[in-house]
Chains A and B, each alone.
Chain A
Amino acid sequence: GNSVTQMEGPVTLSEEAFLTINCTYTATGYPSLFWYVQYPGEGLQLLLKATKADDKGSNKGFEATYRKETTSFHLEKGSVQVSDSAVYFCALYENSGGSNYKLTFGKGTLLTVNP
Protein backbone atom coordinates (compact mmCIF):
# COMPACT_ATOMS: atom_id res chain seq x y z
CA GLY A 1 0.00 0.00 0.00
CA ASN A 2 0.87 3.66 -0.06
CA SER A 3 3.25 4.97 2.57
CA VAL A 4 5.21 8.06 3.54
CA THR A 5 8.54 8.06 5.37
CA GLN A 6 9.85 11.20 7.02
CA MET A 7 13.14 11.80 8.75
CA GLU A 8 13.02 11.14 12.45
CA GLY A 9 12.96 14.10 14.75
CA PRO A 10 13.27 16.09 16.73
CA VAL A 11 15.20 18.65 14.72
CA THR A 12 16.68 21.56 16.65
CA LEU A 13 18.12 24.56 14.82
CA SER A 14 19.25 28.06 15.59
CA GLU A 15 17.40 30.99 14.10
CA GLU A 16 18.42 31.75 10.48
CA ALA A 17 19.75 28.22 9.91
CA PHE A 18 18.91 26.22 6.79
CA LEU A 19 16.22 23.58 7.15
CA THR A 20 15.74 20.30 5.31
CA ILE A 21 13.17 17.69 6.33
CA ASN A 22 13.37 14.60 4.16
CA CYS A 23 10.27 12.84 2.87
CA THR A 24 10.06 9.81 0.59
CA TYR A 25 6.97 7.96 -0.50
CA THR A 26 5.73 4.68 -1.93
CA ALA A 27 2.71 4.79 -4.19
CA THR A 28 1.21 2.68 -6.93
CA GLY A 29 0.23 5.58 -9.17
CA TYR A 30 0.88 9.30 -9.41
CA PRO A 31 -0.08 10.89 -6.12
CA SER A 32 -0.35 14.52 -5.16
CA LEU A 33 2.05 15.45 -2.36
CA PHE A 34 1.55 17.79 0.56
CA TRP A 35 3.30 19.28 3.54
CA TYR A 36 1.17 20.14 6.54
CA VAL A 37 2.25 22.05 9.66
CA GLN A 38 0.88 21.71 13.18
CA TYR A 39 1.60 24.47 15.67
CA PRO A 40 1.37 23.62 19.38
CA GLY A 41 -2.19 22.94 20.51
CA GLU A 42 -3.67 23.36 17.04
CA GLY A 43 -4.90 21.27 14.15
CA LEU A 44 -2.98 20.71 10.94
CA GLN A 45 -2.72 23.43 8.31
CA LEU A 46 -1.81 22.97 4.69
CA LEU A 47 1.65 24.45 4.08
CA LEU A 48 2.27 23.60 0.42
CA LYS A 49 1.48 21.05 -2.24
CA ALA A 50 2.58 19.66 -5.61
CA THR A 51 0.36 17.68 -7.93
CA LYS A 52 2.75 16.30 -10.53
CA ALA A 53 6.38 15.46 -11.12
CA ASP A 54 8.83 18.41 -11.08
CA ASP A 55 6.23 20.73 -9.58
CA LYS A 56 7.56 22.97 -6.82
CA GLY A 57 5.26 23.95 -3.98
CA SER A 58 6.12 27.03 -1.97
CA ASN A 59 4.65 29.05 0.87
CA LYS A 60 5.97 31.26 3.69
CA GLY A 61 9.56 30.72 2.55
CA PHE A 62 9.20 26.92 2.52
CA GLU A 63 9.70 24.94 -0.68
CA ALA A 64 9.43 21.33 -1.79
CA THR A 65 9.92 19.78 -5.22
CA TYR A 66 8.09 16.65 -6.40
CA ARG A 67 10.84 14.29 -7.54
CA LYS A 68 9.35 11.24 -9.23
CA GLU A 69 12.73 9.65 -10.02
CA THR A 70 13.69 9.57 -6.34
CA THR A 71 10.08 9.41 -4.99
CA SER A 72 10.87 12.31 -2.72
CA PHE A 73 9.31 15.59 -1.57
CA HIS A 74 11.84 17.16 0.78
CA LEU A 75 10.87 20.32 2.65
CA GLU A 76 13.41 23.19 2.71
CA LYS A 77 13.65 26.69 4.09
CA GLY A 78 16.65 28.93 3.73
CA SER A 79 16.41 30.79 7.04
CA VAL A 80 14.17 29.50 9.83
CA GLN A 81 12.57 31.64 12.52
CA VAL A 82 11.50 30.84 16.05
CA SER A 83 7.89 31.03 14.85
CA ASP A 84 8.54 28.04 12.53
CA SER A 85 8.75 25.74 15.55
CA ALA A 86 6.06 23.12 14.91
CA VAL A 87 5.46 19.56 13.78
CA TYR A 88 5.69 19.03 10.02
CA PHE A 89 3.85 16.22 8.22
CA CYS A 90 4.47 14.98 4.72
CA ALA A 91 1.42 13.40 3.06
CA LEU A 92 0.40 11.79 -0.19
CA TYR A 93 -3.02 11.79 -1.79
CA GLU A 94 -4.03 9.00 -4.09
CA ASN A 95 -6.87 6.80 -5.22
CA SER A 96 -7.70 4.22 -2.55
CA GLY A 97 -10.12 2.21 -4.65
CA GLY A 98 -13.06 3.02 -6.89
CA SER A 99 -13.84 6.71 -6.72
CA ASN A 100 -12.37 7.11 -3.26
CA TYR A 101 -9.21 9.06 -2.50
CA LYS A 102 -7.20 9.07 0.68
CA LEU A 103 -4.57 11.24 2.35
CA THR A 104 -1.76 9.18 3.93
CA PHE A 105 0.53 10.91 6.43
CA GLY A 106 4.08 10.42 7.56
CA LYS A 107 4.74 10.25 11.30
CA GLY A 108 5.68 13.90 11.59
CA THR A 109 8.91 15.75 12.39
CA LEU A 110 9.15 18.08 15.36
CA LEU A 111 11.14 21.22 14.60
CA THR A 112 12.37 23.49 17.37
CA VAL A 113 14.06 26.76 16.45
CA ASN A 114 16.05 28.51 19.17
CA PRO A 115 16.75 32.27 19.18
Chain B
Amino acid sequence: DAGITQSPRHKVTETGTPVTLRCHQTENHRYMYWYRQDPGHGLRLIHYSYGVKDTDKGEVSDGYSVSRSKTEDFLLTLESATSSQTSVYFCAITPYAGISAPGGYTFGSGTRLTVV
Protein backbone atom coordinates (compact mmCIF):
# COMPACT_ATOMS: atom_id res chain seq x y z
CA ASP B 1 0.00 0.00 0.00
CA ALA B 2 1.06 3.52 -0.63
CA GLY B 3 2.87 4.96 2.38
CA ILE B 4 3.58 1.67 4.11
CA THR B 5 6.13 -0.94 3.14
CA GLN B 6 7.20 -4.18 4.73
CA SER B 7 10.53 -5.90 4.29
CA PRO B 8 11.45 -8.49 3.42
CA ARG B 9 8.44 -9.75 1.44
CA HIS B 10 9.53 -13.36 1.81
CA LYS B 11 11.99 -15.04 4.15
CA VAL B 12 13.01 -18.58 4.96
CA THR B 13 14.96 -19.07 8.15
CA GLU B 14 16.11 -21.91 10.35
CA THR B 15 14.72 -22.84 13.73
CA GLY B 16 16.52 -21.07 16.55
CA THR B 17 17.77 -18.10 14.55
CA PRO B 18 16.72 -14.51 15.27
CA VAL B 19 14.67 -12.74 12.63
CA THR B 20 13.69 -9.08 12.30
CA LEU B 21 10.87 -7.82 10.12
CA ARG B 22 10.58 -4.17 9.26
CA CYS B 23 7.58 -1.94 8.75
CA HIS B 24 8.25 1.49 7.30
CA GLN B 25 5.67 4.25 6.86
CA THR B 26 5.82 7.66 5.25
CA GLU B 27 2.44 8.85 6.57
CA ASN B 28 3.64 10.09 9.96
CA HIS B 29 0.91 8.03 11.64
CA ARG B 30 1.21 7.64 15.39
CA TYR B 31 -0.16 4.10 15.74
CA MET B 32 1.45 1.00 14.28
CA TYR B 33 0.51 -2.66 14.66
CA TRP B 34 1.90 -6.10 13.91
CA TYR B 35 -0.50 -8.93 13.10
CA ARG B 36 0.01 -12.50 12.04
CA GLN B 37 -2.37 -14.28 9.69
CA ASP B 38 -2.88 -18.02 9.89
CA PRO B 39 -5.52 -20.28 8.31
CA GLY B 40 -8.47 -20.73 10.63
CA HIS B 41 -7.38 -17.87 12.90
CA GLY B 42 -7.80 -14.75 10.84
CA LEU B 43 -5.56 -11.93 11.98
CA ARG B 44 -4.21 -11.84 15.51
CA LEU B 45 -2.48 -8.88 17.13
CA ILE B 46 1.12 -9.45 18.20
CA HIS B 47 2.26 -6.03 19.41
CA TYR B 48 1.37 -2.44 18.81
CA SER B 49 2.86 1.00 19.25
CA TYR B 50 1.16 4.23 20.20
CA GLY B 51 4.21 6.43 19.78
CA VAL B 52 7.99 6.44 19.65
CA LYS B 53 9.28 4.06 22.32
CA ASP B 54 5.70 3.33 23.43
CA THR B 55 4.68 -0.25 22.75
CA ASP B 56 2.37 -2.84 24.24
CA LYS B 57 1.53 -6.51 23.86
CA GLY B 58 -1.27 -7.99 21.85
CA GLU B 59 -2.95 -11.35 22.22
CA VAL B 60 -0.11 -13.50 20.79
CA SER B 61 3.05 -11.72 21.91
CA ASP B 62 5.02 -14.68 23.32
CA GLY B 63 8.26 -15.18 21.41
CA TYR B 64 8.13 -11.72 19.82
CA SER B 65 9.56 -8.35 20.70
CA VAL B 66 9.20 -4.96 19.03
CA SER B 67 10.97 -1.65 18.89
CA ARG B 68 10.05 1.78 17.64
CA SER B 69 12.90 4.28 17.85
CA LYS B 70 11.40 6.67 15.30
CA THR B 71 7.93 7.39 14.01
CA GLU B 72 8.39 5.77 10.63
CA ASP B 73 9.81 2.39 11.62
CA PHE B 74 8.32 -0.43 13.66
CA LEU B 75 10.46 -3.56 13.95
CA LEU B 76 9.25 -7.03 14.89
CA THR B 77 11.87 -9.47 16.17
CA LEU B 78 11.54 -13.19 16.64
CA GLU B 79 14.21 -13.84 19.26
CA SER B 80 14.60 -17.53 18.39
CA ALA B 81 12.36 -18.58 15.52
CA THR B 82 10.21 -21.71 15.85
CA SER B 83 8.15 -23.57 13.27
CA SER B 84 4.96 -22.33 14.95
CA GLN B 85 5.96 -18.83 13.90
CA THR B 86 5.68 -19.72 10.22
CA SER B 87 3.02 -17.28 9.10
CA VAL B 88 2.23 -14.20 7.08
CA TYR B 89 2.95 -11.03 9.04
CA PHE B 90 1.13 -7.78 8.39
CA CYS B 91 1.90 -4.31 9.60
CA ALA B 92 -0.87 -1.72 9.90
CA ILE B 93 -0.97 1.99 10.65
CA THR B 94 -3.56 4.54 11.67
CA PRO B 95 -3.27 8.22 12.54
CA TYR B 96 -5.75 8.25 15.39
CA ALA B 97 -7.12 6.00 18.05
CA GLY B 98 -10.35 6.40 19.88
CA ILE B 99 -13.97 5.97 19.03
CA SER B 100 -13.92 9.12 16.92
CA ALA B 101 -11.13 7.79 14.73
CA PRO B 102 -12.08 8.57 11.15
CA GLY B 103 -11.42 5.29 9.53
CA GLY B 104 -9.81 1.92 9.67
CA TYR B 105 -6.25 0.83 9.38
CA THR B 106 -3.95 0.86 6.35
CA PHE B 107 -2.17 -2.45 5.89
CA GLY B 108 1.13 -3.33 4.30
CA SER B 109 1.45 -6.10 1.74
CA GLY B 110 2.76 -8.61 4.24
CA THR B 111 5.87 -10.69 4.89
CA ARG B 112 5.67 -14.42 4.36
CA LEU B 113 7.98 -16.09 6.89
CA THR B 114 8.83 -19.77 6.80
CA VAL B 115 10.76 -21.34 9.66
CA VAL B 116 12.32 -24.68 8.74
| Chain A binding surface SS class | strand
Q: Are B101 and A101 touching (Cβ within 8 A)? A: yes
Knowing A42-B109, A43-B107, A93-B101 are in contact, say whether A102-B42 is a contact too (CB < 8 A): no
Q: Are B97 and A34 touching (Cβ within 8 A)? A: no
Select one of B43, B45, B58, B99 contacting A44, CB under 8 A.
Answer: B43
Interface residues of A (CB under 8 A from B): 30, 32, 34, 36, 42-46, 49, 51, 89, 91, 93-95, 99-108
Knowing A99-B97, A100-B50, A100-B97 are in contact, say whether A46-B43 is a contact too (CB < 8 A): no
Interface range, B side: 20 to 34
Interface contacts (Cβ under 8 Å), in number, total: 65
Q: Which residues of the partner chain B approach A32 to less than 8 Å between Cβ atoms?
A: 99, 101
What are 10 A-B contacts with C-beta separation under 8 Å? Answer: A43-B1, A44-B43, A44-B90, A44-B92, A46-B105, A89-B43, A94-B99, A99-B50, A101-B98, A105-B35
